[in-house]
Structure 1
């Protein structure tokens, strides 16, 4: 590997180790790489602009805003109520209701932290009041967050689709079965926990209560149908679907549920703009970093180095998944995807991995990173909502981590898990 490659890789490790924010780290290293290569420095801002100007990235602010409006408009609260009427009377029913609510909200927001925030703000106190340990409740809210990245629409799937030039709609389909498997695993954990700790069952909802919850929550339940149905019917693209989601959530919140006040809109818009700005800043500087890496052929060199270790695709997949899990625990997943995309795409081609399966594997590995200290955003969100220390939440999260690791293994070694739906409906 050349001098520039060594400087950039060592610099990345050192700067992250001393706590420099990831966006500043990769921006600085991109500038250093341009300087060392004696290339016109104007290329760097051009790459920053190019990285943030891809049309498909317009879906990101749309899905972020849609999630914020739906949460403020009462849709998430009604989803929880519907889930409770279905599962509340079962062993571990309230915990399973949290999983179901996270699954539904994940099909709206596309974001792990947003899903954790929406579900956790309602359910953590409720779970504690019904006999669950607060640490378990916070860990559960953390764990359902990644469902927002697996189940479509998914913001990381949009970014990977742009990077790999793959169909975003097919990537969305690839995440559905892994997301449902993870949700099923969380429900099993819920039952085992309730039995072990003697959590009492809730009374079964009456027919009247069930019908009221269903009637009250019907507009919330229809949100994923409108968004995803529009995409797969061909009515609109994923980018347009994000804007339809914003419009739908605003109409429902303002005029049907009337939980959303016009006076709340400026704060909702500001919150969405802050989240979008952070993501787009990382994407922009990461594009510059990735351009320098590609121009120095560093991804190709790293791919060859990995292939030199072994030519066994099973072992290679294991090495790649371990690497992704470790990086997901210490790096922001969006910047990590942009930086590693060249290496991963090249490696996938070398071992014959389907590009859609590769994309799902990358996104799901980094989704696990969202619940893993020290950079797991979802665990910090749950810690903030619950008032517990991150270490306390982390101590309770290991059963959910086992489920997520099982999903990672299935995605890597059973192609049908991610490829059957895209092949059938893509």
Structure 2
């Protein structure tokens, strides 16, 4: 059964079928022709896959992110980032990096972050004499941080399929996002010093305070989410609903930039995005159920326990596999496939579930801009109008830098787990 299922999935993917179609149709054909399972069970598994309290947070966070984008919070974040780091050597590129990280946290989408920040910052980086390939590589890599920094949709999905605390994943995601961001900022600084780029005028204290005041409504969102969760005021799912109300109030009544027409568009876009993700989760639930029924997770765990006794080696192999998957497959799809299979083996080796989740998501984030198939590369190309050969040198330098950061996240757990451990004391 398992062999037939995998062959069907590969054949469907080779025909360019959508991933949810490949999962769902392969599972359906396998059940009909290979097993004696009643087809109605598939329907039950589909609903069971999305009938989870934790997954209710997903459409709410997507809705909140789209409201904040339309309501002007992202523009104010960019001005705040420019006032904060714009005067440092390489400040224009650092502004793109910092604003991408914050915008990615709001949008939850790497491609959307590359497009939104790139349209503004790419011309500015060229005017500051940065090479087009460097600027494109920066945008592609910085946009991927949205997979890691909370409220991350990928972390929510990982938590829902493995039963790991989403609140703890959010806390660890902050640490991982900081490590990735700092690694890129350090590289930007030394690159800029080597090429002797001029420094911009430092923002005055008044300008910094004004930009901070204008962006404060966006900057306190992580405090509301994490403070509310760990203060016992609401669950991660309820936090998503709170943020939607918060975003509506700020966008419509404080900034006054969200019109009724924009709100309608936001509702449609949010519903579309949520449906795309949830149908993928539902179809992957069928696949996971059939693989579990075939004993695949147990076989993987047994193989690992008999052949890999070192958590260090296991994590190294995990990183290599996930980097390849990340450049070929959308992050959520990769999580719903790999997490249930590898989670038992990881816990058997004593790897913390939260740390394991962060490693998976960080790998997939890097895979999003790893040539030749990383999605963010194609979006960056649409912004810069460069071909693959032109953009490749800049992208690969950021891949190398962030791979070093990945090794730090993987083998120095305290860099990501310090907030989890501090809060849980």
| Shared fold per TM-score greater than 0.5 | yes
> Residue by residue, what CA displacement relative to the aligned partner does 1:333-374 show, whole Å, maximum 9, x if unpaired?
212211222321121122121111111111111122222245
* Contact kept in structure 2, 1:64 and 1:111, CA below 8 Å: no
**Which of 140, 143, 149 is residue 141 of structure 2 equivalent to?**
143
Q: Distance in 2 between matches of 1:374 and 1:245?
A: 37
Partner of 1:5: 2
Q: How does 1:10-89 map to 2 (within 5 A)?
A: 10-35=7-32, 36-89=34-87
- Residue 220 of structure 1 deviates from its aligned partner by 2.6
Q: How many residue pairs align between the two structures?
A: 423
- SS, match of residue 351 in structure 2: coil
Q: Distance in 1 between matches of 2:127 and 2:113?
A: 21
Q: How does 1:270-419 map to 2 (within 5 A)?
A: 270-373=268-371, 375-389=373-387, 392-419=390-417
Q: Please identify, of 75-84 and 261-270, the stretch whose mean Cα deviation from structure 2 is larger.
A: 261-270
Q: 1:367 to 1:59 in 2, by over 3 A?
A: same
* Contact kept in structure 1, 2:175 and 2:417, CA below 8 Å: no
- Residue 18 of structure 1 deviates from its aligned partner by 4.2
- Residue 381 of structure 1 deviates from its aligned partner by 3.0
Q: Distance in 1 between matches of 2:106 and 2:227?
A: 12
Q: Distance in 1 between matches of 2:85 and 2:414?
A: 29
Partner of 1:212: 210
Q: Distance in 2 between matches of 1:63 and 1:293?
A: 30
Q: Distance in 2 between matches of 1:9 and 1:304?
A: 20
- Residue 165 of structure 1 deviates from its aligned partner by 0.7
- SS, match of residue 145 in structure 1: helix
Pair 1:159-2:157 in alignment = yes
Q: Distance in 2 between matches of 1:62 and 1:301?
A: 37
- Residue 218 of structure 1 deviates from its aligned partner by 2.4
TM-score (normalizing by structure 2): 0.93
**Which of 218, 226, 247 is residue 249 of structure 1 equivalent to?**
247
TM-score (normalizing by structure 1): 0.93
Q: 1:182 to 1:247 in 2, by over 3 A?
A: same
Partner of 2:111: 113
Q: Give the CA RMSD over aligned residues.
A: 2.1
Q: 1:391 to 1:346 in 2, by over 3 A?
A: farther
Q: Distance in 2 between matches of 1:168 and 1:146?
A: 20
Q: Distance in 1 between matches of 2:303 and 2:13?
A: 23
Structure 2 unaligned regions, length at least 5: none
